[in-house]
Structure 1
Amino acid sequence: MKQLEENLGFLLLDRGRKAVRLTPAGAVFAEHCARILGQLDAARALAEQKSKGTSGTLAVSFVPSMLFRHLPRTLHSFEEAYPAAKLDLHEMNTNRQIDHLTQGKIDVGFIHSVPLPDDLQSHLVETERLVCCVPRNHRLAERSRISISEMAGEKVLVFAREFAAHYHDHIVGLLRAAEVDPYEHYRVQHWFTVIALVAQGMGVSLVPRSLSRSRMADLVYIEIEEPKAQHEIRMIWKTDNKNPVNEIFRRHLQLSRLSSS
């Protein structure tokens, strides 16, 4: 310490008979040294991440309902674990995600399960039940469980087929198998629009259970008996994606609560 003081040209410690304490100059010097050491530790961590391929930008797309499937928590935990890796988020429907992935415009997507091109891979995130969504004052609102056939005679809203044909066809197939006719004259894109219309008394719908977490007022969600009233959520990416952050992100998700396997 004396050698450091000699090099600096001033005292850092006040050496009394009963105690040793920092001088005013020493206190200022210690404060700045602690700050510099903290910056060095952060710099070392960031450099280590970069050497392991954990820096860079990852373009992530998702269907809007992923906001209620714990995706934000997973994204936040990834950013905390890998601060040198930046997330570029894009909200878009399933069809657009597939197009953007095949064109190399995004790195990873979260979609409603559909048949995929050969150059895309997928990981099952969640198998989710569909539920009946009705206004709070609806005749079915007091029921805890119904069959789809009990929706007959209602204006059953679905999103437009052009935005996710396979997913749309699955839901319409469930309805028609129960002899329920879907009402397809409202050309809406998002589930949020569907449940907003239901809340206004403009129909009922068969929706993903995760939407019940949206807490939109004046809505009731009822369990469905049919075992096939469910669908899969998948993470998808292009097989030849060269972004080093891609694999790290996928591994992080598979270890998080968002993933079902």
Structure 2
Amino acid sequence: MSTSTPSALLSRVELRHLRYFLALAEELHFGRAAQRLAMSQPPLSVALQQLEAAVGARLLDRDSKGVRLTPAGVSFRASAQALLMGFEEACAQAREVESGERGRLRLGFVGSTMLHGLPDWLQAFQASHPRVEVVLVELNSQDQIAALLQEELDLALLHTDRLPPTLASQPLYDEPFMACLPDTHPAARKRSVALASLSDQPFILFSRRGSPDYHAHIIEMCRQQGFYPRLQHEGRHWLSVVSLVARGLGVSIVPAAFRDAGIQGAVFKPLAETVERSRVFAAWRRDAAPALRDAFLAARG
């Protein structure tokens, strides 16, 4: 028989040819194989001839004694089974990816979410979606927005919903702001702290570049109490801000979750004033496939 190039072979062999051949290889009888395949015998014979012509080798011997696999047929049978199993596995994986049961989720997050249930959320999701790989990337809000736009993240957990039009978001939770003070500060022993009482203190704030909205929000909180904070230092991560406060380098206003950060030397006190709460949002690209993202968001409960 004539040989064919791999590309020509693939164009001539269909999955049905492999299924027909495997049925014949098991039954070793055209009539029984045709019945099993719910077809008549002549089309089955034609399909086998087409397969042998495409492969370039005789796969079955048929005579008055019955049907037998040739040595080439024995070899081809194993490969045909592997091909069909591989195709079925590829189909199953594709369905799982489309449904959010398999895949890779690149998740950006701000540090406060680690102190507000993100580890438990991840654990619950991995328990229900063991075939999904979650890649965690800690970034400030502004860097997460940039990463979403550049398709380097699939989902972002950040402190703002002021986003470019190509991104969408939904609120996750909110929490109060608290005064963060060195444990040697006179106000560290008070039940609550009036924001105005900190007007003469050096402030350590979250970087304006890292999260413009958050930075502006805290500035506005102070302005409403009649002063503009004396900015001493900026940090690109909240834990950096708290660490600097713990070293006595200034005071800050931070989300309440950082009470649980375990940084010695920092004290957290409720604000005496009623101020807007710290908010966290989930954000994503509007044109991104929703299944994996929605599955992760649903796992939060």
Q: Please say whether Structure 1 and Structure 2 have the same fold, judged by a TM-score greater than 0.5.
A: yes
Task: Please say if 1:149 is aligned against 2:196.
Answer: yes
Which position in structure 2 is the counterpart of 1:74?
Answer: 121
Which position in structure 2 is the counterpart of 1:178?
Answer: 225
CA distance in 2, matches of 1:204, 1:69: 22
CA distance in 2, matches of 1:219, 1:51: 47
What is the aligned-residue identity percentage?
26
Q: Residues 23-102 of structure 1 correspond to what in structure 2 (within 5 A)?
A: 49=96, 52-102=99-149
Aligned residues of 1:109 and 1:236 also touching (Cα < 8 A): yes
Change (3 A) 1:114 1:122: closer
Give the superposition deviation at 1:53.
3.7
Q: Which of 269, 278, 298 does residue 231 from structure 1 map onto?
A: 278
Q: Counterpart amino acid of 1:219?
A: A
CA distance in 2, matches of 1:237, 1:198: 33
SS of 1:118 mapped into structure 2: coil
Change (3 A) 1:51 1:188: closer
Which position in structure 1 is the counterpart of 2:60?
Answer: none
SS of 2:218 mapped into structure 1: helix
- Of 79-88 and 219-228, more deviation after overlay is shown by 219-228
Give the superposition deviation at 1:51.
7.6
Which position in structure 2 is the counterpart of 1:158?
Answer: 205
Q: Residues 183-194 of structure 1 correspond to what in structure 2 (within 5 A)?
A: 183-194=230-241
Deviations 1:101-139 (A, max 9, x none): 122221100000241122222121111110001111211
SS of 2:179 mapped into structure 1: strand
Q: Counterpart amino acid of 2:173?
A: E
Bigger helix fraction: 2
Q: Counterpart amino acid of 1:188?
A: G
Give the superposition deviation at 1:237.
1.1
Which position in structure 2 is the counterpart of 1:203?
Answer: 250
Aligned residues of 1:113 and 1:231 also touching (Cα < 8 A): no
Change (3 A) 1:133 1:53: closer
Which position in structure 1 is the counterpart of 2:150?
Answer: 103
SS of 1:115 mapped into structure 2: coil
Q: Counterpart amino acid of 2:256?
A: R
Give the superposition deviation at 1:164.
0.7
Answer with 1 or 2: which has the greater Rg.
Answer: 2
Structure 2: segments with no counterpart, 5+ residues: 1-88
Which position in structure 1 is the counterpart of 2:176?
Answer: 129
Which position in structure 2 is the counterpart of 1:12?
Answer: none
Structure 1: segments with no counterpart, 5+ residues: 1-42, 256-261
